C-alpha cells in the first residue's frame, strides 16, 4: 500500500505546472501528470505497475517525476525489460515517491529523503537542486493529493 502511495506521488510529479495552475489543484497527481503531456512514459509505467489507483489516493505524496526525455535516456531494450517486470518497475517507481507534501522550500533544507520504496534519495542543493543524479527542472506543481517536482533523469534504486 505504501509503495502504491509513492507511485501516486510520482504520477503527480509528472503533471504540467500549467495544467495544475489552471485546475486550481482539483486534479490528483496522476491526472495532473497526464494533462501535462510530457509524462506519457511515466503514466504507462504506473499503469504497468498497477500504481495508478494508489497515486490517485488521498496522499499526500511528493513525486519526483521523470519526463519522457528522462525515460528516453534509458536504452530501449532496458526500458522494455523494466516495463515487463512488475516487481522491478514497482521498486523503481516507488523510489520516486516520498510520503507527505514536500515543497521546494522544504526540499532545499534536506540532505536526503526516505522514499516509499524504503531507501533514501540524496538531495544536493549546492548547484541547483539534484535528487541523486537527477536535476530538478520544475518544482511545486500542485495537485489535490500532493506535489510534483519534475526531474530530468529516472532514479534507480540500489
**What's the distance, Cα to Cα, between the start and end of the chain in Å?**
21
One digit per residue, pLDDT tens: the chain, 158 residues?
333 333 333 443 343 333 334 344 689 999 999 999 999 999 999 999 999 999 999 999 999 999 999 999 999 999 999 999 999 999 999 999 999 999 999 988 999 999 999 999 999 999 999 999 999 999 999 999 999 999 999 999 99
CA nearest to 138, candidates 19, 45, 41: 19
pLDDT score, position 77: 97
pLDDT score, position 68: 97
Distances (CA, A) of 74 to 33, 67, 68, 77, 114: 20, 12, 10, 8, 24
Cα–Cα distance, 108 to 88 (Å, whole number): 29
pLDDT score, position 26: 85
pLDDT score, position 142: 95
Q: Judge contact between 155 and 113, C-beta under 8 A.
A: no
CA nearest to 131, candidates 120, 141, 140: 120
pLDDT score, position 64: 97
Domains of the chain: 2-151 (2.30.180.10)
The answer for residues whose C-beta is within 8 angstroms of residue 121's C-beta and 6 or more apart is 64, 95, 98, 112, 113, 115, 131, 132, 155
What sign results for the dihedral spanned by CA atoms 130, 132, 138, 140? negative
Cα–Cα distance, 22 to 1 (Å, whole number): 30
Cα–Cα distance, 101 to 87 (Å, whole number): 26
Amino acid at each position: 500500500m505504501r509503495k502504491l502511495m509513492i507511485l501516486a506521488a510520482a504520477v503527480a510529479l509528472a503533471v504540467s505546472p500549467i495544467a495544475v495552475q489552471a485546475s486550481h489543484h482539483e486534479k490528483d497527481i496522476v491526472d495532473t501528470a497526464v494533462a501535462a503531456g510530457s509524462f506519457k512514459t511515466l503514466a504507462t509505467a504506473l499503469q504497468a505497475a498497477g500504481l495508478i489507483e494508489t497515486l490517485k489516493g488521498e496522499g499526500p505524496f511528493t513525486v519526483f517525476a521523470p519526463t519522457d526525455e528522462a525515460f528516453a535516456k534509458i536504452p530501449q531494450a532496458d526500458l522494455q525489460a523494466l516495463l515487463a517486470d512488475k516487481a522491478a518497475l514497482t521498486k523503481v517507481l516507488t523510489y520516486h515517491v516520498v510520503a507527505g507534501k514536500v515543497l521546494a522550500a522544504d526540499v532545499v533544507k534536506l540532505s536526503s529523503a526516505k522514499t516509499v520504496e524504503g531507501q533514501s534519495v540524496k538531495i544536493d542543493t549546492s548547484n541547483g537542486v539534484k535528487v541523486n543524479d537527477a536535476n530538478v527542472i520544475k518544482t511545486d506543481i500542485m495537485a489535490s493529493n500532493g506535489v510534483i517536482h519534475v526531474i530530468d533523469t529516472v532514479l534507480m534504486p540500489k
